Amino acid sequence: MIQIVDLIVKIKGAVILNNIQATFEESLVHGIVGLNGAGKTTFFNTLSCVLKPSFGRIIFKDRPISFKDIGYLESSNFFYSNITGREYINIFEQTNPDFNILALSQLTNLPLDNLIETYSSGMKKKLAMLAILKQNKPIFLFDEPFNSLDIESSKILELVIANLKDKQKTLFISSHIIETLVPICDYIHLIEKGTIKKTFCKNEFNSIEDELLGHFKQSARSIINESI
């Protein structure tokens, strides 16, 4: 169980996450959705201990969560310049005994001996994902993992997520596109104005879009009709 108690995160005085109270079941896939600026990335950064809570705590297995518990695939991937994909992967200690770099690089079509600068953004995302999969972590955070992936790679990612779930890992996945989350998530949590407004279980997934975009669509439509 991952428990979030009274979580408040402020950045430069502004409250980004506002008093989040939530409990997430382990070994399940949790989707995180929200409009731009709702606080999704801050939520992920706090879960992965990149940001420290201004107040409150995150509990995992009856102790404060640590970055050692988490494999974090960030939305934008940065790499050290002038190193090859293979060298990048080799920086990480292999704690996942099943990790097979040869098979995975062939599957993902990654030219591991080329400098990372020559990679497309989709290839960079896949490389970052391989580095994370090399490590055996109980929790995985994927922030916008489907961005810049082609159809094949998106399918591979879906299969990776299913595989991690089978291995009893807990996953948090954010996406702007709700359709990408529907087939893979057990729960989808809606973040609005820095707090988890609602949690949807599988049979409620078709009402998420209305909940998320209902009001926005109405006001956007009237602005567009008046302005164009």
Please report whether residue 113 would count as binding other proteins according to CB under 8 A. yes
Structural tokens at position 50: 């990149």
From 32-40, 86-94, 197-205, 219-227, give the range in contact with other proteins by CB under 8 A: 86-94
Please report whether residue 42 would count as binding other proteins according to CB under 8 A. no
* Residue 186: other Cβ atoms inside 10 A: 14
CB of 166 to other proteins, least distance (A): 24
Please report whether residue 9 would count as binding other proteins according to CB under 8 A. no
CB of 15 to other proteins, least distance (A): 20
Which residue, 10 or 86, has its beta carbon nearer to other proteins?
86
Please report whether residue 84 would count as binding other proteins according to CB under 8 A. yes
Please report whether residue 148 would count as binding other proteins according to CB under 8 A. no
Which residue, 88 or 200, has its beta carbon nearer to other proteins?
88
CB of 67 to other proteins, least distance (A): 6
Subset of residues 57 to 76 that bind other proteins, contact rule: CB under 8 A = 67-68, 72
Find the binder of other proteins among 26, 117, 204, 210 (CB under 8 A): 117
Find the binder of other proteins among 13, 14, 52, 62 (CB under 8 A): 52
Please report whether residue 12 would count as binding other proteins according to CB under 8 A. no
Rg of the chain taking only CA atoms, in angstroms: 18
Q: Are 196 and 190 a contacting pair, CB within 8 Å? A: yes
Find the binder of other proteins among 63, 80, 203, 219 (CB under 8 A): 80
Left (φ > 0), alpha (ψ -120 to 50) or beta: where does 148 sit?
left
Nearest one of 39, 48, 31 to 11, comparing CA atoms:
39
Find the binder of other proteins among 8, 27, 87, 211 (CB under 8 A): 87
Residue numbers at the binding site for other proteins (CB under 8 A):
50, 52, 67-68, 72, 77-84, 86-88, 90-93, 113, 115, 117-118, 128, 131-132, 135
